[in-house]
A and B are shown apart, each in its own frame.
Chain A
Amino acid sequence: MTNLKGKNLISITDYTKEDYLTVLDLAEKFEKNPNQPVLSDKVVGSLFFEPSTRTRLSFETAANRLGARVIGFSNTAATSLTKGESLHDTIMMVSSYVDIIVMRHHKDGASRYASEVSPVPLINAGDGSNQHPTQCMLDLYSIRKTQGTLDNLQIAMVGDLKYGRTVHSLVQAMSNFGAEFHFVSPESLAMPDNVKAYANNAGLKYHEYRKLEDVIPFADIIYMTRIQKERFPDVLEYEKVKDSYILNASLLNGCKDNMKVLHPLPRVNEISMDVDKTKYAYYFQQAKNGMFVRQALIASILGYADQIK
């Protein structure tokens, strides 16, 4: 177990394999016993410069179940930021009131910068298209929970692999555990070279596919993502591929028994409703796991990990 007291979480690469495992073990305790108000004298600053109801509710519920109080804002329209106050000054002001900051921002790198300004620790809840490390942590938690291990799994990732930051982070994080990756995407939305290089440098194998059917028989995890029409330079190209990345129940015939389908949500149509009723669907539980992981992070960063039962 590592001590995460005072340690910012900005990028998935800020934490080591041991740090991840510390968080996941603690999150397991919260899943069994979610209400542990050890932070009754703490205040969490929840700064959502960009609205994200899903992530904000998950964090704020996590803080509430720990007994902490939450201050903050859910968008910048009602704050002085629209009057031109700098991010620097907002962070200086808020950090003098709170014990920890959870921050989401539309600019890439805003969370790293804020963490350098802030005297209190900061958790990145998404900075532009850059990082969303707690999403990655909950993905790891969900994978371990459903597979019993994080080691040597067959991980398929499907859809928009070019712009999807969740799949990029997941490759980085899983590189600690010896996974084999199967990237399924249209050519124009293929996994970027720098992410593939990351897998390469970690000595991990990856394979690329155009068809979803190809990976169904051997995948332990199928990680689905949204394909957005506006990402395609050519509408015809989109029309050609759009249905090849829709997962339905009949496609799952012949998949491994332990296989689980994950998705960062919200979904559009890439997973048919008929998958929801199969034992392979895990995306709603996956979202719920986010709360336990965030409880674990807030508690350990504030130095209360050893008080959690």
Chain B
Amino acid sequence: MTTNNKELIVKKIENGTVIDHIPADKVFDVVRILGLISLEDEVLIGTNLESKKYGRKGIIKATNKFFDCEEIDKLAIIAPTATLITIKNYEVVEKKSLSIPKEIHKIVKCINPNCVTNVEEIDTQFNVVSEEPLTIQCHYCEKTMTNINFK
């Protein structure tokens, strides 16, 4: 890879968020689950980039997009190794490593079809019982699961 290409990849954005160090195979999950496809401003998506740390990584740059807590929780669940970089006026104003939350509220759907949260209008709630592999337990039906289904 030439220096020229690298510069192209890391093209700076004026305002917005860069999600770096996404595992290469999770990039499109991140795009889909965070609904980045429906943003109106410029979104740059790169994948299979070389990374010293992770072998192959992905990167997403979303212009004029800043993520809220629920979105950050989702991102932490899909790509816990990712780094979230907030850019304002071409400057990095915040760099944040993600971590899996201890409790997950609202954003995940229980996989148990007989769970009360799948019939009544209830905000779901899960406790993280293990991070690797990610295992969560439904606060209501008490089932544990490793398949994470976002709402």
Interface residues of A (CB under 8 A from B): 11, 86-88, 105-110, 112-113, 127-131, 194
Q: Which residues of A contact B40 (CB under 8 A)?
A: none
Q: Which chain B residue has the least Cβ–Cβ distance from A192?
A: B144
Q: Within 8 Å of chain A (Cβ to Cβ): is B8?
A: no
Q: Which chain A residue has the least Cβ–Cβ distance from B135?
A: A194
Q: Which residues of A contact B140 (CB under 8 A)?
A: 108-110, 112-113
Our pick among B116, B121, B122, B144 for the contact of A108 (Cβ within 8 Å) is B116
Total number of residue pairs linking A and B with CB closer than 8 Å:
50
Q: Which chain A residue has the least Cβ–Cβ distance from B118?
A: A107
Are B144 and A130 in contact, with the CB atoms below 8 A?
no
Give the secondary structure class of A's interface. Answer: mixed
8 A-B pairs (CB sep. < 8 Å):
A86-B121, A87-B120, A88-B121, A108-B115, A112-B116, A113-B117, A127-B141, A130-B141
Min Cβ gap A135→B in Å is 16
Are B144 and A194 in contact, with the CB atoms below 8 A?
yes
Q: Which residues of B contact A87 (CB under 8 A)?
A: 116, 120
Also in contact, A107 and B142, with CB within 8 A (given A87-B120, A113-B122)? no
A128 to B143, CA, bound (A): 12
* Interface membership of chain B positions 98-117, coded 1 if the CB is closer than 8 angstroms to chain A and 0 otherwise: 00000000000000101111
New A-B contacts (15) at CB < 8 Å, excluding given A106-B114, A112-B139, A112-B140: A11-B142, A87-B116, A88-B121, A105-B116, A108-B112, A108-B116, A109-B116, A109-B138, A109-B139, A109-B141, A110-B140, A127-B116, A128-B114, A129-B114, A194-B144
* Interface membership of chain B positions 77-115, coded 1 if the CB is closer than 8 angstroms to chain A and 0 otherwise: 000000000000000000000000000000000001011
Our pick among A106, A109, A129 for the contact of B117 (Cβ within 8 Å) is A109
